Amino acid sequence: MTQITTRRFLQTAGLLCAGVLLAACGKKEAAAPAASAPAPAASVAAAPPPAKVFVVGTDAAYAPFESQNEKGEIVGMTIDMLSAVASKAGVEIKFVNTPWEGIFNSLQQGDRDILASSITITDERKQTMDFTNPYFDAYQLIAVKANSKVAKFDDLKKLKVGVQTGTTGDEVVTKQQGKNSTNIKRFESTPLALKELEAGGVDAVVADNGVVINYVTNNPGAKFKTVSDRAFAPEQYGFAVKKGNAELLEKLNKGLADIKADGSYDKIYAKYFGAAPAAAAPAASK
């Protein structure tokens, strides 16, 4: 009896120990998932979306407003103006050289967000795009050779005149001579038209005052003179955005007002024309 009792006692004790061990193992396995559980998704901070970069179309063949330097960088008064406006407006921009002939379509198609290319604000253009408040007052100017007898716009009626395609210079000469006139010679840029004048292919060029003066100043060997005429209506440049983009337009107008208020506008203007707008002679427009 003693042996049996002892055996049973040992068997019972063994079963109890096994039960305790199993229970202990069960607790450890149950606790493991809680210890390794990932932090709730709500506690992970989401990365902010990247800031939008607005693509600016500019025809960089129009010094001193917009052109390319020897490094291929786009520079000029218009570039400096919009850069200052964007900084005040808190928007990031990137300039992309865009041929004038396709520049308005690039805005309509959404390939460009802003146009900054010495663009004259006209009623016709306002039908398809929105403009900021004006950033430059402008008018047209005639370039002829120094020995030319041209003294006013009317003198061009029967002469060969060079213009840049699609500009307001093109418009005023077409209105004067007629849309079917063979005396109007159209070029991709104003400098090309002025080169043709130098070569004798045209008798005069009608284009922006600022661009003409810049060319004449930097090419004294061409022996040009300029002729102004009060018949040319005053014009104004504006930055253009897609029709209906009121949010971007408001930001740009606010930035433009800010750089005029703090003196930045006058400094940029004087950098290219030697004086603040009130003292400097106005330039012409596209």
Tokens 């430059």 belong to which residue?
136
pTM for the complete prediction? Answer: 0.73
Q: Report the pLDDT value the prediction gives residue 40, as an integer from 0 to 100.
A: 54
CA–CA separation, 161 and 243 (whole Å): 34
Question: Which residues pair with residue 53 across a beta bridge?
Answer: 92
pLDDT in tens, the chain (286 residues): 444 444 444 444 444 444 443 344 444 444 445 555 555 555 556 777 778 999 999 999 999 999 999 999 999 999 999 999 999 999 999 999 999 999 999 999 999 999 999 999 999 999 999 999 999 988 899 999 999 999 999 999 999 999 999 999 999 999 999 999 999 999 999 999 999 999 999 999 999 888 998 899 899 999 999 999 988 988 999 999 999 999 999 999 999 999 999 999 999 999 998 887 765 555 445 5
Which positions ≥6 away from 9 have C-beta within 8 Å?
none
Encode 162-195 in three state secondary structure: EEECCCHHHHHHHHHHCCCCCCEEEECCHHHHHH
- Which residues are 225's β-sheet partners? 144
Q: What is the 3-state secondary structure (H, E, C) of 132-149?
A: CCCCEEECEEEEEECCCC
- Tell me the three state secondary structure of residue 283: strand
